[in-house]
Structures are given as C-alpha cells and as structure tokens.
Amino acid sequence: MGFISPKVDYAFKKIFGSEQSQDILISFLNSIIYAGEKNIESLTNFHPYNPGQLM
C-alpha cells in the first residue's frame, strides 16, 4: 500500500482537519507563517461546507 500525497485535498483535510490533529496543524502553521515561533496556540475548526457548523 502506498502513501497519499498531502498535496491532495482529501489527504490534507485528513491530516490537518481533524480535532485529534490540531497540534500538528498548529505546529505546521507556526512553522510556515511565523518561522517556528509559537504565536498560534489554539484553533477553532469550522466545517468548510456549512460555515455555521463547527467540526
């Protein structure tokens, strides 16, 4: 079985879009936006197809 590239939308959402992987997403965002400084401490995920509904 091969790996799915995180550049594929489905894989990216599975890797970074769940509540369980919030620490990974925060680390990823801090590394690409703030050069590794820990500026982002928490996030709130919103459902992309229904903005009024939290995930």
Q: What is the pLDDT of residue 51?
A: 57
Is 33 inside a domain boundary?
yes
**CA separation (Å) from 19 to 14, 23, 44?**
10, 9, 9
Does any domain span residue 10?
yes
Q: How do residues 1-55 score in pLDDT, each as one tens digit?
A: 577 787 788 888 878 887 888 898 899 899 999 998 889 999 887 766 765 655 5
Q: What is the pLDDT of residue 31?
A: 93
Does any domain span residue 53?
Answer: no
* 42 domain-assigned: no
C-alpha 40/C-alpha 22 separation (Å) is: 11
Number of domains in the chain: 1
pLDDT of residue 50: 64
Range of the domain at 23: 1-37
Predicted TM-score of the model (pTM): 0.65
- Whether 52 maps to a domain, the answer reads no
In a domain, 18, yes or no: yes
- pLDDT for 13 equals 80
